[in-house]
Amino acid sequence: MNCQLAPDNILYGNGLYRLLYDAAGTLLPCWLAYLAAGLVIIFILVNGVLLGAAVITWTERRLLGRFQNRVGPNRWGPFGLLQPIADLFKLLTKEDLTPAGADRIVFALVPIAMVAPLILMTAVIPFAQNTALASLNVGVLYLLAISSVTTIAIFMAGWSSNNRYAMFGAARAVAVLISYEVPVVLSLLGVVMVAGSMSLGQVVEAQALPFLLVQPLAFFVFLAGMSAELNRTPFDVAEAESEIIAGYHTEYSGIKFALIQAAEFGGVVVVSAIVATLFLGGWSGPLSEYLGWLWFLLKTGVVVFLFIWIRATYPRLRIDQIMAFSWKFLLPLSLINLLAVSLEVFFLRGETGQLTATDLGIMTGINLVLAVAAIAFFGNLIRRRVKFETRRPAQNVVPGVSTIEVS
């Protein structure tokens, strides 16, 4: 049979898919070939995300060990690389508990509802040239929409567990995630405006200069917002282990817990991939036609390292401070970025509506200065609200200084 994929099909851009479709099309009816080729790619993506999550658990633990003058897991396999597999087997053999009084159906659905959005998000990410499964022309919008589904999963977990710590975690998570959506969306608007498209493939191609340089403010807001959505320090109030045990997943055990952890670490992989795509130029780089995947992996790895580094360094903020950080600091920054970028695009674009590399260079200069000024200004504003001295008066160390006489 001779099956042809129409060029306007969203799957047309994926080279591997076309190859598989053609091969399968010689044996199967077209509709079945369409399905079979899709399933093969989905299989690769699902395993990619889960394997990525496994590698991240190992990397994170090894790196945290380094940061903390420890060794980290190094027993099982070379450099402890097989540790995630050992963890998985351990969790598989654990009893799968459902607490009394829990809403059993919702409780069981949570791990699925947490992993699914992650895998869906990978559908539009271009890992190299012509490799995104679906070259959606609303890719950025799709990512934002899908990433919000995790909020519902977290709330389901907190509500169905019949546990007060889980309830705390869920309430916190919803508050944080909803308030961080706003600056994240606004920061991405600037990216879309400069790229002139919402398709991730075209965003990558538009980055003659990485958008990290062109829009440092947007990068900063996006990274902060994404660490909040991933529940990572300093925004990890939803599962703050020193306060509310494990937050929304306190009651989960066994394979359900494994899936929730996989979703968390997989989230780091996917979000790092998105950051690399939107701000670091994705697969572009020298010899990108052949080595695009290597560049992409490298850039993703850098972002993952950044996330782990932040986690190893900072304490956690309080819930009201996190909300203040979002509404009083990140939101103004993203608005400033949006305003500046829209003005620059309006004045700099040529007759075709395209921005050249020189235009991007000019924008980089303006936006860098703007970013430093805006962060300094708004940083000082919220700092002054908190009111603390940065240095202690030295005379405190001198004995005899006391505010009360004790006889």
Partner 1 sequence: MTIRTEPMTVNVGPQHPSTHGVFRVRITFDGEEIVEVEPVFGYLHRGTEKLAEERNYVQIVTLTDRLDYTSSMINNQAYCLAVEKLLGVEPPPRAKYLRTLTAELQRIASHLIAVGFFVQELGALGTPLMYGFRSRERILELFEMLCGARITVSYMRPGGVFADAPREFWPALDRFLSDFPGEFAEMEQLLLENEILMVRTRGVSPLPPEIAVNSSVSGPVLRASGVNWDWRKQEPYDAYDAVEFDVPVGANWDNYDRFWVRMQEVHQSLRIINQCVAQIEPGPVRLDLPLVLRPAAGREAYGRVEASKGELGFYLVSDGGIAPYRCKIRSPSLINLTVIEHLLLGWKLADMIVSLGSVDINMGEVDR
Cβ 386 to partner 1, closest distance in Å? 5
For the beta carbon of residue 391, count every other beta carbon within 10 angstroms: 5
Question: Is the Cβ of residue 357 or residue 386 nearer to partner 1 in the bound state?
Answer: 386
Query: Per residue, what are the HEC states of 277-307?
Result: HHHCCCCCCCCHHHHHHHHHHHHHHHHHHHH
Residue 164 touches partner 1, criterion: CB under 8 A: yes
CB of 382 to partner 1, least distance (A): 9
Which of residues 124, 146, 260, 319 is near partner 1 by CB under 8 A?
319
For the segment 233-262, give every residue that binds partner 1 (CB under 8 A).
233-234, 236-237, 240-245
- Residue 93 binds partner 1 (CB under 8 A): no
Quick one: 31 or 388, whose CB is closer to partner 1?
388
User: What is the closest distance, in whole angstroms, from the C-beta atom of residue 393 to partner 1 in the complex?
Assistant: 7
Interface mask toward partner 1 for 66-85; x: CB under 8 A? -xxxx---------------
Those residues with Cβ within 8 angstroms of residue 101's Cβ, 6 or more apart along the chain or in another chain: 162
Considering only 317, 323, 348, 362, the residue that binds partner 1 (CB under 8 A) is 317
Stretch that binds partner 1, among 140-148, 287-295, 298-306, 382-390 (CB under 8 A): 382-390
Regarding 95 and contact with partner 1 (CB under 8 A), the answer is no
Under DSSP, the state recorded for 249 is G
Among the candidate windows 46-54, 152-160, 165-173, 358-366, which touches partner 1 by CB under 8 A? Answer: 165-173
The per-residue DSSP string of 63-76 comes to HHHHHTT---S-SS
Task: Give the separation between CA 341 and CA 273, rounded to whole angstroms.
Answer: 24
CB of 67 vs partner 1, minimal distance in Å: 6
Amino acid at 237: V
The least CB distance from residue 269 to partner 1, in Å, is 20
* Residue 384 binds partner 1, judged by CB under 8 A: no
380 in contact with partner 1 (CB under 8 A)? no
Instruction: Give the Cα-Cα-Cα angle 121, 127, 128 (nearest 5 degrees).
Output: 150
Provide the minimum distance between the beta carbon of 236 and partner 1 in the complex, in angstroms, as a whole number: 7
Nearer to partner 1, 92 or 372 (CB): 372
155 touching partner 1, by CB under 8 A? no
Determine whether 376 is exposed, middle or buried from the number of CB atoms within 10 Å of its CB (0-12, 13-18, 19+): exposed
Tell me the one-letter amino acid at 247: G
Using the rule CB under 8 A, is 100 a contact of partner 1?
no
Distance CA 371, CA 91 (A): 46
CA trace torsion 280, 281, 282, 288 (10° rounding): -130
Q: Which residues contact 357 (CB under 8 A, 6 or more apart)?
A: 208, 209
Residues 252/162, Cβ–Cβ less than 8 Å: no
Q: What are phi and psi of 349, to 5 degrees?
A: -65, 150
Cβ 167 to partner 1 shortest distance, Å:
8
Q: How far apart are CA 67 and CA 106, in angstroms?
A: 39
The only residue of 17, 58, 127, 168 in contact with partner 1, by rule CB under 8 A? 168
Q: Which residues contact 243 (CB under 8 A, 6 or more apart)?
A: 237
Distances (CA, A) of 274 to 49, 167, 226, 267, 304: 13, 30, 10, 10, 11
- By rule CB under 8 A, what count of residues binds partner 1? 48
Binder of partner 1 out of 8, 95, 289, 320 (CB under 8 A): 320
Binder of partner 1 out of 120, 321, 332, 342 (CB under 8 A): 321
> Looking at this protein, which amino acid is placed at residue 80?
G
**Least Cβ distance, residue 190 to partner 1 (angstroms):** 27
* Helix spans in 149-287 (H): 149-160, 164-195, 200-206, 211-214, 216-229, 241-244, 254-279
Between residues 316 and 349, which has the closer beta carbon with respect to partner 1? 316
Nearer to partner 1, 30 or 174 (CB): 174
Q: In the complex with partner 1, which residue's Cβ is closer, 34 or 235?
A: 235
Q: Is 287 in the site for partner 1 (CB under 8 A)?
A: no
Q: Name residues contacting partner 1, limited to 4-63 (CB under 8 A).
A: none
> Half-sphere exposure of 206 toward its Cβ, with a 13 Å CA cutoff?
25
The answer to whether 165 contacts partner 1 (rule: CB under 8 A) is yes
Binding interface with partner 1 (CB under 8 A): 64, 67-70, 164-165, 167-168, 233-234, 236-237, 240-245, 311-321, 383, 386-388, 390-393, 396-404, 406
